[in-house]
Amino acid sequence: MKNLVVLSGAGMSAESGISTFRDAGGLWDRYPVEQVATPEGYARNPELVINFYNERRRQLLEVEPNEGHRGVTALEKDFNVTVVTQNIDNLHERAGSTHIIHLHGELTKVCSSRDPYNPHFIKELKPSEYEVHLGDKAGDGSQLRPFIVWFGEAVPEIETAIEYVQKADIFVIIGTSLNVYPAAGLLHYVPREAEVYLIDPKPVDTHSSRPIHVIRKGASEGVAELRKLLEK
């Protein structure tokens, strides 16, 4: 079976009703990134940041995976599929994808404020635990914080993602502007002989001269078209 790697971004989950950050009316319009997605913002006002991610988790309870997510899962019948996602939601998991690398963390997990990547203190929250409070402690006694990679923090999973991308026979980019690094740089690790597909209703600057098959559609329609093309 060929290796197929998907790089998914906010546009993948937009059809499910997950608020995007960068679009007009998106989350960055309502919450400055410096306040809710940086270590400095968390240090200044941890309660604001904790409540922001509580709100994001509540939204997870109201949304479902879309046909794009389910279409990516269906590709596992014919390919070794690895999903590398910039999204912090769990919609790929809920759609049934079995191998997912979360570059920017996971909304349904919390961790230690002192030692965020210590696996002993990373906890998966049940839906009944989605409301985290100031004063809730990790195993090391520090405040529980969202298990999110904030701006200015290292991206620990990027090396793992690169390993899979370097072995890709097919690389599919879905719903990402390719503006956020290091994720945007993954395209540079795709083997020259691999096929590359880009699914997005908007123009995307790939910063690359390599041939790319562009599907100018949203995630659900675009993945459906991709599956037809790959069946030929």
Which residue numbers are catalytic? Answer: 104
Residue with tokens 């290292």: 154
* Residues contacting 15, CB < 8 A, separation 6+: 66, 67, 68, 218, 219, 220
Given 3-state DSSP classes, what are the helix, strand and coil percentages for the chain, each rounded to the nearest 5?
35, 20, 45
For 5-67, give the secondary structure using H, E and C: EEEECHHHHHCCCCCCCCCCCCHHHHCCHHHHCCHHHHHHCHHHHHHHHHHHHHHHCCCCCCH
Question: Which residues does residue 123 pair with via DSSP β-bridges, in sequence order?
Answer: 110
C-alpha of 84 from chain center: 7
